[in-house]
Amino acid sequence: MKFILSGIAITFAVVVLIVSLPFLLPKKSIPHFDDETLRQMALSRDIKPTPVTDKQLLMAVDNPDNPMTPEKIALGKQLFFDPLLSKDKTINCASCHILEQGGDDNLPTAIGYHGRANPKHLNSPTVLNAALAQSQFWDGRAKDVEEQAGGPIQAPFEMNMTPEEVVSRLQADQGYVAAFDEVFGQEGITFENVRKAIGAYERTLLTHGAFDRFLEGDDDAISPAAKRGLALFIVKGCKGCHTGMSVGGQSIQKFPVRNYVEDYIGLLFEPDVNLKKSPFPFVNTGGFLGRNDNLRFRVPILRNISKTAPYFHNGSVKELKEVVRIMSKYQVGDEFNRTQIDDMVEFLKTLDGELVEYKIGKENQVSG
């Protein structure tokens, strides 16, 4: 009996030591970088400022399979805000993508037709800057905003329409008939053209803010704390996944990358309540496991992240500071201390921005 208890005690001590080791070892301090070095380090990962002119916009997001024109964008905007595309004519694309509130709905899970919630408890990703991403939806199943635009319209728990119903309703509206004829010629109203028009409009929904001004050369655009957060973001490797002009959305990655012994200790005492029922460091409400159930998710876009709470695919985390802690621990493998978390949050807030008012003229159109 004494031997058994001694073995358990030794095992427990080893477990505690392993769990505590990262906290006992001294952490390397983050080097101080001057503003220009910090700026170039960001730019080297293709983290560039968002466009502020029509020409820059077209270079960044125009789709050769769906060239942007003023008329197509105007039609797409009208469709984006029109409840005609929903079964009971009460909701529209903007219902879940509120442009003034970060481009999402700030709910844990999307709510659609007749108050139905997403069956997997997925919340709404932001539509702002989504055109800069390489794929859409939490599992990245749609290649672009044009393909994505058709999904919510047809989902029974969102707008609950069929392509045929959409076309029929629009054909009954002479204003839409004329607009589609002007934009798409003889093709007129088709569901594909509805997607194309909405996609063209969504490609204009880019934001520009303090971080962009810093990248453009304004050293005073962001605070010293934000600069420390940016240095942390770069040195610790966050930029490896959150890259590109959108600061995310460029790849599909596993989450979480790491697990810890401490996550399982509770199983020894309260196996029925331990969070390791979930593969995530939070309760997996809805049971969604990413692409092919392999814990692989499209890397979230960090622009306007401070405005898009609650966080993660099922909205389980309310505070941005807790998101930073989780990501530093389970993705980076080096849990940030309180000061580092505060600095990182200050940097992330600089990614907030205002919608750029583009005025795409015919002289800027890209030929089909």
Specify whether 271 is located in the same domain as 246: yes
149: in domain: yes
Tokens for 313? 């695919």
pLDDT over threshold 60, residue 24:
no
pLDDT over threshold 70, residue 36:
yes
pLDDT over threshold 50, residue 251:
yes
Nearest of 84, 196, 181 to residue 145 by alpha carbon: 196
Query: For all residues of the chain together, what is the average pLDDT?
Result: 90
Mean pLDDT within 13-42: 68
Specify whether 171 is located in the same domain as 281: no
Specify whether 211 is located in the same domain as 200: no
Specify whether 80 is located in the same domain as 219: no
Predicted local confidence at residue 267, as pLDDT: 55
The domain total for the chain is: 2
DSSP code, position 104: B
Position 361 confidence tier, pLDDT thresholds 50, 70, 90? low
Question: Virtual CA dihedral for 190, 192, 196, 198, nearest 10 degrees?
Answer: 80
Domain coverage including residue 319: 28-50+207-355
Mean pLDDT within 132-151: 97
Handedness of CA 66, 99, 57, 222 (dihedral sign): negative
283: in domain: yes
Strands 207-209, 353-355: pairing kind? antiparallel
Q: What share of the chain has pLDDT > 90, as a percent?
A: 83
Q: Please, is 140 exposed, middle or buried when counting C-beta atoms within 10 Å of its C-beta (0-12, 13-18, 19+)? A: buried
Higher-confidence residue of 11 and 165: namely: 165
pLDDT over threshold 50, residue 299:
yes
Specify whether 197 is located in the same domain as 78: yes
- Please name the amino acid found at residue 230: L
Distances (CA, A) of 196 to 57, 69, 149, 180: 17, 11, 8, 11
13: in domain: no
pLDDT over threshold 50, residue 324:
yes
158 is catalytic: yes
Higher-confidence residue of 279 and 268: namely: 279
Nearest of 143, 8, 95, 103 to residue 352 by alpha carbon: 103
Predicted local confidence at residue 268, as pLDDT: 57
Distances (CA, A) of 102 to 94, 205, 227: 11, 11, 23
Specify whether 230 is located in the same domain as 316: yes
pLDDT over threshold 60, residue 8:
no
Show the DSSP H helices in 203-337 as ranges: 210-215, 224-235, 320-327
Tokens for 71? 């008329």
pLDDT over threshold 80, residue 21:
no
H helices, E strands: number in the chain:
13, 4
For residue 252, the surrounding DSSP H or E stretch is strand 252-254
Position 191 confidence tier, pLDDT thresholds 50, 70, 90? very high
Predicted local confidence at residue 28, as pLDDT: 61
Position 328 confidence tier, pLDDT thresholds 50, 70, 90? very high
63: in domain: yes
Specify the 3-state DSSP secondary structure of 254.
strand
Q: Catalytic residue among 71, 100, 158, 216, which?
A: 158
Mean pLDDT within 249-265: 89
171, 205, 239 - which closes a domain: 205
Mean pLDDT within 312-324: 97
14: in domain: no
Specify whether 189 is located in the same domain as 331: no
Predicted local confidence at residue 23, as pLDDT: 45
Contacts of residue 68, Cβ cutoff 8 Å, sequence gap at least 6: 58, 61, 62, 200, 203, 204, 360, 365, 366
188, 205, 222 - which closes a domain: 205
Predicted local confidence at residue 266, as pLDDT: 57
pLDDT over threshold 80, residue 192:
yes
172, 205, 238 - which closes a domain: 205
DSSP-assigned letters across all residues of 173-187: -HHHHHHHHHHHGGG
Predicted local confidence at residue 31, as pLDDT: 85
Position 12 confidence tier, pLDDT thresholds 50, 70, 90? very low
62: in domain: yes
Mean pLDDT within 258-278: 66
Predicted local confidence at residue 297, as pLDDT: 98
Predicted local confidence at residue 281, as pLDDT: 94
Predicted local confidence at residue 366, as pLDDT: 39
DSSP-assigned letters across all residues of 302-352: -TTGGGS-SBTTTT-B--HHHHHHHHIIIIISS---HHHHHHHHHHHHTT-
Position 360 confidence tier, pLDDT thresholds 50, 70, 90? confident
CATH of the domain at 310: 1.10.760.10
Specify whether 80 is located in the same domain as 181: yes
Higher-confidence residue of 23 and 354: namely: 354
Specify whether 213 is located in the same domain as 336: yes
Q: What share of the chain has pLDDT > 70, as a percent?
A: 87
Report the distance separating Cα 351 and Cα 186, nearest Å.
43
Position 69 confidence tier, pLDDT thresholds 50, 70, 90? very high
- Please name the amino acid found at residue 139: D
